[in-house]
Amino acid sequence: MVLDNPAIRWGYSIASGTTIAALAVFMLDGTAQLVALGIAVLDIVVTPQILKRAADQ
């Protein structure tokens, strides 16, 4: 299965986190930008763990 590979799991999370961060920097400002950047960081950290659990089942 594809999700068994850690590089794939981290690649998905880094790609989506980078996309969220780029949108936050270029399109948002103020508090909304900070919230979106927080979501991006959370996405990069949490998504691989969730995908690992999905691969284990």
What integer pLDDT is reported at residue 1 of this predicted model?
A: 76
What integer pLDDT is reported at residue 2 of this predicted model?
A: 87
pTM of this structure: 0.88
Task: For 1-41, write each residue's pLDDT tens digit.
Answer: 788 899 999 999 999 999 999 999 999 999 999 999 999 99
What integer pLDDT is reported at residue 48 of this predicted model?
A: 95
What integer pLDDT is reported at residue 57 of this predicted model?
A: 87
The C-alpha torsion from 39 through 42 and 43 to 45, rounded to 10°, is 160
Q: What's the Rg (C-alpha) of the chain?
A: 13
